[in-house]
Structure 1
Amino acid sequence: MDENKRRNEVVKAGTHAAIVNVLLALLEALEGLFVGSFAVMLDGLSHITEAAGSVITVLGTKYAGKQADHKHPFGYGRIEYMSGLIVAGLVTYAGITALVESVDKILHPAEPAMHFYTLLVVVISLVARIFVGRHDIHTGHLYQSSALVHAGREELTHSLISLGTLISGAVYLLFHIQLAGIVGLVISIIIIYSGLMMLRDSVSRLLGEHLDKALIGEIKDIINSHEAVKGTYDVVINNYGPVAHTGSVHIAVLDTM
């Protein structure tokens, strides 16, 4: 895989996601202030954390592309795993914040400020989050960027906030029943769980994971294809980034060589 192309594509996807989220944050913040809806303002604030996650992904990817030096002879590729860890932390923090706010709404219910245009803004936010999230996840898997995958999952997870705001707002407009606190509580628990799973995956990558057996098999097949090699054993591969590996392998040859 061309490392420069990979880095450029990840940076481009992260930059586009950050711009979209900043615009959505401004749109929802203005709408929330205009109608006095805390739920919409909170939804807009969550776009800021998503934009921050995208910026962290971009910066992490750029910094990970630094050339190896005397202090770090294997390069800076693992910084991408660290940026993924930070994004996972942002998701968890957003879930905890939503949980606190939801409990407060349940204990101290207040009449929400909602109208048709407010729900339209939330629908735009929901659709944009799903589109950007799916694009980031696809690009992240395609170019082996766990940070971008986590940023995409953050988008999809936070789309639940938009969905919850939409459902509770529609129910209130139609039936005058307040569900914001209860819906928010359920969604916040889902977000926290998703964030913790992302944290687990990021920590696992930082600790070092077992290499894919199929890849080990391919390495052995390539080495064994040489007529002088009589066996391949003890393949050890160390990971220094999504596309940066180094390692060693023991081979058997005739003792007359």
Structure 2
Amino acid sequence: MNEFLYKLFIKDHNNVKDVKVREGYGKLAGAVGFVSNTIISVAKIIVGVITSSIAVIADGINNLTDAASSVVTLVGFRLAALPEDKEHPYGHARIEYLAGLIVSIIVLFAGFSLGKSSIEKIINPQETYFSYATVAVLAMAIIVKIWQAYFNYSTGKKIDSATIKATAADSRNDAIATSMVLISVIIYRFTGVDLDGYLGLAVAIFIIISGISLIKETSSPLLGEAPDPELIENIAKDVLAYDGVLGIHDLVVHNYGPGKVFASIHIEVDADTDIMESHDLVDTIEKEVGEKTGIYFVAHMDPVKTNDPVIQKVYEPICHCVSSFTGLRHVHDMRCVPGKTHTNIIFDIIVEADCSASEEEINRAVDMTVKDIDPTYNVVITFDKAYTNL
């Protein structure tokens, strides 16, 4: 069924890397959700009014908010596909993340709304009327919601969309909520015990918890989450595979939305190699790794003196000293600048977020280490933040 819809409504549907194709998937998910949610919402509200079931009415209103969420998804994907402009040189792809956050907030609001209605029903119980029409409508709604969850999850996974995955979670919640309502109707029919409000409250709590989880998940990319470790590993492996690359560091990845990922890296090369040859190597790496990973890739060339006697003397002791501190790693860009009275040993250290030592403490310890080798040595350290695990 899913593949049939993809083929019917999305041109070149297998090319999910294409912005237009991605937009097509988002618009299809939004349209399918709007139509199906509107139909089952109207049916539930009508039956709920006839049978005086607050749970059925609340469930119908919840589906109405789902229809609104589908409109948000539809508009969000349309705006996310807008091209770059002067005010937004990196494009508008992050609007997709914003749409996902809005959907998550709507889910949370629906949970609170259902909880309020359920508590009112518990405090002021009203007689519920059993109807086979109610059972039929609820059973139909459960089937539709299960299919919605499957369709949205498959679609979200296909294009790696947090927004559509959030919609899938919402559809799953709705299927559970409607199932609880159906159970309460059946229990009332055979026992006369009205659990309408209590089951509605239980479902509301579940939806609220799910909404909070979805808000955390969809807001993370907007705040700037850590890049995919697999992407970092692949970039490192690809760059280090080139002859002439001595090492890499300072890999930084910025996500401006699906299909808008930028990365920069420092590549260490032998300082004694012809500079034009090294420059050509770095240019080649930029082009080929960028094409392979599908990201905007920029590489910076760092010449390294591999045969400097001073560096050979201090490198291992400095690395040993640095390793004694928790949260420090990767000494790089080491070079020496000799003078009449002293020699500066200049290098960078990557500092992780869990490092408790101050820069002054680290600088003092490393400086003492090199002065034990030669009192005329001074250290000049640049502390780099660890944006990735590289």
Answer whether TM exceeds 0.5 for this pair: yes
Residue number among 98, 121, 128 corresponding to 1:105 in the alignment: 121
Q: What residue in structure 2 maps to residue 51 of structure 1? A: 67
Question: Greater strand share, 1 or 2?
Answer: 2
RMSD: 1.4
Q: What residue in structure 1 maps to residue 166 of structure 2? A: 150
Q: TM-score, normalising length from structure 1?
A: 0.95
Using the alignment, how far apart are the partners of 1:219 and 1:64 within structure 2? 27
Residue number among 16, 25, 40 corresponding to 2:41 in the alignment: 25
Using the alignment, how far apart are the partners of 1:69 and 1:108 within structure 2? 56
Tell me the CA shift for residue 243 of structure 1.
2.4
Tell me the CA shift for residue 223 of structure 1.
2.0
Query: What SS does the corresponding residue of 2:251 show, helix, strand or coil?
Result: strand
Asked if the contact 2:55–2:200 (Cα under 8 Å) also holds between the matched residues in 1, the reply is: no
Using the alignment, how far apart are the partners of 2:115 and 2:195 within structure 1? 14
Tell me the CA shift for residue 220 of structure 1.
1.7
Larger relative CO (CA 8 A, sep 6+): 1 or 2? 1
- With over 3 angstroms needed to count, the CA separation of the structure-2 counterparts of 1:187 and 1:35, relative to structure 1, is closer
Q: What residue in structure 1 maps to residue 189 of structure 2? A: 173
Query: What SS does the corresponding residue of 2:249 show, helix, strand or coil?
Result: strand
Give a deviation string over 1:178-209, Cα, whole Å, max 9, x none: 10111111111111000001111122221111
Tell me the CA shift for residue 36 of structure 1.
4.0
Q: What residue in structure 2 maps to residue 41 of structure 1? A: 57
Asked if the contact 2:54–2:117 (Cα under 8 Å) also holds between the matched residues in 1, the reply is: no
Q: What residue in structure 2 maps to residue 161 of structure 1? A: 177
1:75-224 matches, cutoff 5 A: 75-224=91-240
Using the alignment, how far apart are the partners of 1:252 and 1:122 within structure 2? 64
Query: What SS does the corresponding residue of 1:222 show, helix, strand or coil?
Result: helix
Tell me the CA shift for residue 227 of structure 1.
2.1
Using the alignment, how far apart are the partners of 2:261 and 2:219 within structure 1? 18
**What is the count of residue pairs matched by the alignment?**
257
Tell me the CA shift for residue 59 of structure 1.
0.7
Amino acid at match of 1:236: V
Residue number among 80, 95, 99 corresponding to 1:64 in the alignment: 80
Asked if the contact 1:37–1:114 (Cα under 8 Å) also holds between the matched residues in 2, the reply is: no
Q: Identical aligned pairs, as a percentage?
A: 31
The reply to whether residue 16 of structure 1 matches residue 32 of structure 2 is yes
Amino acid at match of 2:44: E
Question: Greater helix share, 1 or 2?
Answer: 1
Using the alignment, how far apart are the partners of 1:118 and 1:181 within structure 2? 16
Amino acid at match of 1:159: A
Using the alignment, how far apart are the partners of 1:191 and 1:40 within structure 2? 16
Give a deviation string over 1:43-94, Cα, whole Å, max 9, x none: 2211111111111011111101111111111111111111111111011101
Amino acid at match of 1:106: I
The reply to whether residue 242 of structure 1 matches residue 283 of structure 2 is no
Asked if the contact 1:14–1:136 (Cα under 8 Å) also holds between the matched residues in 2, the reply is: no
- Contiguous gaps of at least 5 residues in structure 1: none
The reply to whether residue 251 of structure 1 matches residue 232 of structure 2 is no
Using the alignment, how far apart are the partners of 1:16 and 1:81 within structure 2? 20
Using the alignment, how far apart are the partners of 1:159 and 1:108 within structure 2? 26
Tell me the CA shift for residue 218 of structure 1.
0.8
Amino acid at match of 1:175: T
Asked if the contact 1:54–1:148 (Cα under 8 Å) also holds between the matched residues in 2, the reply is: no
Asked if the contact 1:53–1:90 (Cα under 8 Å) also holds between the matched residues in 2, the reply is: yes
- With over 3 angstroms needed to count, the CA separation of the structure-2 counterparts of 1:103 and 1:36, relative to structure 1, is closer
